[in-house]
Amino acid sequence: MYPIPEVTDLDMAFGSTTHYPKGIKELKVDRKWTDLFSELFYNGYRNISVTFKEGADPKKAMRAIRAAMTSFEPKHEDKEKAVGYMLSEWIEDWKKEEM
């Protein structure tokens, strides 16, 4: 499992790429996870249900994901891959709940 980083309140406020996986351009990420990234990026956390993998701290993971998503770098496509990868490492499954 990709280690879940400690994220500071400053990282949360301004975003952070400090803990992005190395070699973003070479990452292979399943569309399931880039779809979740897009859902979170454009619509927020409402109506999303996730099941975390055993050993993954949900609060810590979501802080890291939010900090990574709100950074001003890298370009969007690379951010999508990096965050998608982190999501795939920490989340077992997800679904959008219909209202």
Residue spans per domain, the chain: 9-96
Q: 56 pLDDT exceeds 80?
A: yes
Q: What is the mean pLDDT of the chain?
A: 90
- Summarised one tens digit per residue, pLDDT across range 11-55 is 989 988 888 888 888 888 999 999 999 999 998 888 899 999 999
Q: 81 pLDDT exceeds 90?
A: yes
Per-residue confidence (pLDDT) for residue 67, from 0 to 100:
92
CA dihedral sign, ordered 53, 56, 58, 61: negative
8 A C-beta contact, residue 40 and residue 96: no
Of the listed ranges 11-15, 57-61, 71-75, the one predicted with least confidence: 71-75
Contacts of 97 (CB under 8 A, 6+ apart): 47, 48, 49
Q: 2 pLDDT exceeds 70?
A: yes
